[in-house]
Amino acid sequence: MKAERQVATFIDEARIVEVLEAGKRYSPSAVRDVVSKSLELKGLDLEELAALLWVDDPELEHEIYNAARKIKEHIYGKRLVLFAPLYVCNYCVNNCRYCGYRAGNRFPRRRLTMEEISQEVKVILDMGHKRIALEAGEDPVHCPIDYIVDAMKQIYATTSGNACIRRINVNIAATTVDEYKMLKDAGIGTYVLFQETYHRDTYKRMHSGPKADYDWHATAMDRAFAAGIDDVGLGVLYGLCDWRFETVALLMHAQYLDKTYGVGPHTISFPRLRAACGISLDNFPHLVGDDEFKRIVASLRLAVPYTGMILSTREEPVSREEVIALGISQISAGSMVGVGEYSEGKAREDHSDTPQFEVGDHRSLDEIIRDLLPDGYIPSFCTACYRTGRTGESFMDLAKNAHIHEMCQPNALLTFQEYLCDYASPDTMERALPAIEKALMEIDNEALRNECVRRLERIRAGERDLYF
């Protein structure tokens, strides 16, 4: 047990303040050097990241955005991995000041039965999704680890027609090594836990309940690694504290994991604070505007080029499209953020009782895909790496050598073709065909391209689940 309790000394606030001060002093030509260095795809140090966050010259800002777009295109092409969140339980013993699920909010709480989980999963599968982010509040009585493990088994066992969920990422409260081992054994994809804020005093003010223990929360990933989970996802809830501080702290945490475990975070998420049941944004002086948000995404794209970056449906469609181009590699789509909402078939306009936060993008998965296609994006439902054991360190080695790039494009096309055969509207289908042709031409390796064409044909003829 002793090894489990650690102090999160890797988040050094004094150092963050120092770094921010140093970054503020970068001249335009020093910032340009940082931008050029980022194009070598080796990442940036803390001070260099800080320098990007202070830029206020529109021309320099433009250069940062151009570099972010270039890096994104180089590593991820025009692919976007899609997933759906699944909220299974909204009981929570914590009282986080920013969350609609907090214990002080009085509303009927619910935990899905295994049968209800299956119903939810069938609706998600019938949209065309293959990846789920499993979400639950913290409540050892109503939502113990056994329930989460059973929920994962139920999700993997549920089918609809020939479809099943191929990857479950899990976002549950910080827990022990033993419990992380249980998640590992149940087939977890990425373990996701947002620090919310890295600033200790702010963290203290925002939390009460077990989650108020900053060190236990911040060292959760160390315990996850100790349990053998090598894919972890970090995140900050932007709007709680100064955005520059949080962004440098996020990189500090990522660098610590990389140095300590030989593998950085698999993903980084950027939720922005949203209004929710009983929560007024007026009480939060650090809200992040659209321009600042773009800067965060672009700067981190330069700083951690190989880390997946996730955007959720908290964002409005217009804002989503702008930041996607700056470096996002995964998005949630068609999301319902209330417990049981998928199978209750609530109209998307009727989101009056979604308790954790307000969704900003209410489009269906098919509408989102249809809107992405004219901009050249290829939606991907790929889970190949996870299923072939390319995770953790081996994933990062591949990713850093850019071999992953070779496999992502054909895999995106194969999974997108499955989507088109089984779920797409005629409108989406019409837009997709030229997009697929164009994406095929972007596969430089001729043998791989030809094999991809053959596999696309096999999928059109009825085969499923083909990947490289």
Q: Where along the sequence are the contacts to ligand SF4 (CB under 6 A)?
A: 81, 92, 94, 96, 99, 101-102, 137-138, 211, 380, 382-385, 404, 407-408, 411
Nearest-approach distance from CB 30 to ligand SF4, in angstroms: 34
Nearest-approach distance from CB 370 to ligand SF4, in angstroms: 21
| Closer residue to ligand SF4 (CB): 120 or 231 | 231
Half-sphere exposure at residue 91, Cβ-oriented, CA atoms within 13 angstroms: 10
Nearest-approach distance from CB 468 to ligand SF4, in angstroms: 7
Nearest-approach distance from CB 21 to ligand SF4, in angstroms: 32
Nearest-approach distance from CB 293 to ligand SF4, in angstroms: 20
What Cα–Cα distance (Å) separates residue 170 from each residue in 158, 183, 273? 17, 8, 21
C-alpha angle with apex 31: 25 to 34, nearest 5 degrees?
125
CA distance 122 to 201: 43
Nearest-approach distance from CB 94 to ligand SF4, in angstroms: 4
| Closer residue to ligand SF4 (CB): 28 or 144 | 144
Q: Give Cα 144 to chain centroid, integer Å.
A: 24
Using CA of residue 439, residue 436, residue 388, residue 173, what is the dihedral sign?
positive
Nearest-approach distance from CB 87 to ligand SF4, in angstroms: 9
| Closer residue to ligand SF4 (CB): 58 or 108 | 108
What b/e string do you get for 201-217 counting C-beta neighbours within 10 Å, with b at 16 or more?
ebbeebbbbebbebebb
Q: Name every residue whose Cβ is closer than 8 Å to that of residue 274 and which is 6 or more positions away in sequence.
A: 281, 314, 357, 358, 360
3-state secondary structure of 344: helix
Nearest-approach distance from CB 244 to ligand SF4, in angstroms: 23
| Closer residue to ligand SF4 (CB): 302 or 384 | 384
Nearest-approach distance from CB 54 to ligand SF4, in angstroms: 30
CA distance 320 to 464: 31
DSSP collapsed to 3 states, 58-110 = HHHHHHHHHHHHHHHHHHHCCEEEEEEEEEEECCCCCCCCCCCCCCCCCCCCC
| Closer residue to ligand SF4 (CB): 65 or 101 | 101
Nearest-approach distance from CB 158 to ligand SF4, in angstroms: 21
| Closer residue to ligand SF4 (CB): 28 or 104 | 104
DSSP 202-251: HHHHH--SGGG-HHHHHTHHHHHHHTT---EEEEB-BTSS-HHHHHHHHH
| Closer residue to ligand SF4 (CB): 76 or 180 | 76
Bridge-based pairing state of the strands 159-160 and 163-164:
antiparallel
Nearest-approach distance from CB 97 to ligand SF4, in angstroms: 9
CA distance 224 to 176: 8
| Closer residue to ligand SF4 (CB): 52 or 309 | 309
| Closer residue to ligand SF4 (CB): 48 or 230 | 230
CA distance 312 to 282: 22
| Closer residue to ligand SF4 (CB): 65 or 381 | 381
Q: At 65, phi and psi to the nearest 5? A: -65, -40
| Closer residue to ligand SF4 (CB): 15 or 403 | 403
Identify whether the C-beta of residue 222 lies closer than 8 Å to the C-beta of residue 230: no
